[in-house]
Amino acid sequence: MARNNPIYLQKRNEFIRNRFRSVRKKNPKWTIIAVIEEVAQDVFLSPSTVSRILKETDAKIPDAKTIRKYTTEYLTA
């Protein structure tokens, strides 16, 4: 199955990291949580999943519980 293939998961995670960097660069005034929510919408994952993927390589990413608690949809509109 595709979802259990580690190569596909690695490529997906790398795409999410690249997408996070590009959205962050494009919108420097957005909070990290707003950027994570934007990336989550782009890749059809939950913000907590995107946060966990990003947290693997960057400790500054907020915890997934924080993202679920504070939705920032109004900041990206």
Residue type present at position 31: T
Question: For the CA atoms of 77, 71, 59, 9, what is the dihedral angle to 10 degrees?
Answer: -80
CB distance 19 to 42 below 8 Å? yes
Q: What's the confidence (pLDDT) of residue 1?
A: 45
The conformation of residue 37, written as its DSSP 8-state character, comes to: H
Q: What's the confidence (pLDDT) of residue 38?
A: 92
Q: What's the confidence (pLDDT) of residue 67?
A: 60
Q: What's the confidence (pLDDT) of residue 13?
A: 94
Residue type present at position 32: I
Tens-binned pLDDT, residue by residue, of the chain (77 aa): 456 888 999 999 999 999 999 999 999 998 888 899 899 999 999 888 999 999 988 878 877 666 655 555 555 55
Range of the domain at 66: 2-76
Looking at the structure of the chain, the number of domains it has is 1
